Amino acid sequence: MALLQVQTESGIVEGLTGWNQAVSIFRGIPYAAPPVGDLRWKEPQPVEPWEGVRQCFKWGNICYQKRRASEGGGDLIGNEFYCVDWPLSEDCLYLNVWTPAKSADEKLPVGVYFHGGGYTAGYGHLNCYDGEGFAKRGIITVTLNHRLGIFGYMAHPELTAESEHHASGNYGVLDLVAALKWVKRNIAAFGGDPEKITVFGQSGGGMKSTSMVATPLAKGLIRGAIMQSSGGLERTRNGMTTTLDIAEQNGVKMLESMGVHSIEEARKKTSEELLQGVQDYVAANPVDPMMVFSPITDGYVFPECWNDLFLKGEYPDIPTMIGCTADEMEQKNAVIPEEAKIDAMADHLFGEGYRNQFKKAIHYPEDPEYTLRMYKKYVMMTGGTQAADVAWCENQVAQGKTPAYRYFLTLVPPTAENAHHSAEHQYVFQTLTKSSRPYTGRDWDLSNQLADYWANFIKYGNPNGENLPKWTPHTKESPLAMNIDYELHMFESPTNDLVDMMIAYDLKKI
């Protein structure tokens, strides 16, 4: 029988038996003190110890965020992922553990999963993030909630002045580090090996995995990383960190738009008031909230832009696995914008000086059909994500580090129109039954294979295993990816002039 009571550094926690009787689930374990009151916009603090047994039967609160209009049903995202209106609170620093261990001395490998939703939404107990599938494969799985949006990524000159590190704004990243440190200190009691921790995540979670490779604060905490549909080496705007001075300016402007002129005043605002203030600010300004709230080059959490660190080879040499879907966030109803907007898009993605190269890469204006296809599919996300994956793999080789394993998912799930963003979730986590899609036996066969690949990587730093098609790493001689479809095979993933331009830009070759 799996462990049901565990002694952690703060006290005893009690879990539940999973659907699989050999797996125990501990929900809502605090890994840091509630970041409320005077601790709002402060580094995570230690948990206050408790007496007796803490029953960890319920999921922890999720960070205050804008509810999805589709939450509870409606569109694909609402039906597939955001199915329950979970309680919102700034008191959100909780994690969940699935363990198959029968005793504390088993030293099982550990996978820590970071949820998607960028830096403004999401939580660690989405219906598709069930750790039992990995636990059945001998892996302890951890998911967690952390600060998001204005609560996790607002910088401000007063906050910088308060900080002993003269930094502000990376509170959500510091939460991830605090969670990893908690896992490092406590996971042995759950039967885990603190020297075998791998981080993985999809979309915003892929960026968060990348951030843990980049920050010196996580050095020695992880031995591997998986980055799905975001992350890697991406120098176009979507993958860049913000400078501290710009982030501070954004923080001042945002608070002033709410009639708030000091951090003391801001700490007196309710969570609802701050969240509404952000929504009003974004509505009144042509700004993407994903750009307002993102990791910051603050000189402390990130001494410099992490892409520059990667290009200089100043990061740990650990096994990595990276990939994306073929269609990600395709914009079906897009139309070709006028030239001024195309120029603005080039400036946004690459900075000034790349307008002509960008137009050439999207064949504008000579081939409208091609330009529209690039705009619909590649400009918004797919191109940048695919390029970042290839750039990461090529940089691993150039820096003499461990070659990465890359995948490219072309699978079109049942009733889906394309290989969309998040298509792999239920397959990797073996949660097909939690979806409304009419999956069949071949979907379960593929799910077993993908879960095995991911589990093997978490165990060994290598996805290969018995009865699986061989997955070779991306090397200079063989720059191939695993094509994830019903028939798995290695191939040279499709590319185009725009993706090639993005790869060259990411690697500072143009």
- As to burial, measured by CB atoms within 10 angstroms (0-12 exposed, 13-18 middle, 19+ buried), residue 427 is buried
Residue with tokens 């980055």: 227
- DSSP secondary-structure letter at 466? T
CA neighbor of 375 nearest in space, from 358, 388, 390, 350: 358
CB atoms within 10 A of CB 22: 15
**What is the SS3 assignment for 77?**
helix
Beta strand residue intervals within 121-202, DSSP E:
140-144, 192-202
Computed over its alpha carbons, how large is the radius of gyration of the chain? 22
Q: Which two tokens stand for residue 404?
A: 């990465």
**What is the SS3 assignment for 157?**
helix
Evaluate whether 42 touches 154 at the Cβ level (below 8 Å): no
| 366: Cα separation from own chain's centroid | 38
The residues near 433 (Cβ < 8 Å, ≥ 6 apart) are none
What is the greatest pairwise CA distance in the chain? 72
Distances (CA, A) of 330 to 69, 84, 334, 411, 437: 20, 26, 9, 15, 20
Residue type for 389, please? D
Instruction: Please indicate whether residue 203 is annotated as part of the active site.
Output: yes
| 100: Cα separation from own chain's centroid | 25
Element (H, E) at 339: helix 339-350
Residue with tokens 């704004």: 169
Phi and psi, residue 362, nearest 5°: -100, 10
Catalytic residue among 203, 229, 271, 422: 203
CA atoms within 13 A on the CB side of 331: 13
Question: What is the Cα–Cα distance from 251 to 248, expressed in whole angstroms?
Answer: 5
**What is the SS3 assignment for 485?**
coil
**What is the SS3 assignment for 504?**
helix
Residue with tokens 């993706």: 499
- DSSP secondary-structure letter at 165? T
Phi and psi, residue 35, nearest 5°: -85, 65
Beta bridge partners of 202: 228
CB atoms within 10 A of CB 255: 23
Question: What is the Cα–Cα distance from 480 to 12, expressed in whole angstroms?
Answer: 48
Residues annotated as catalytic (active site), given as ranges = 203
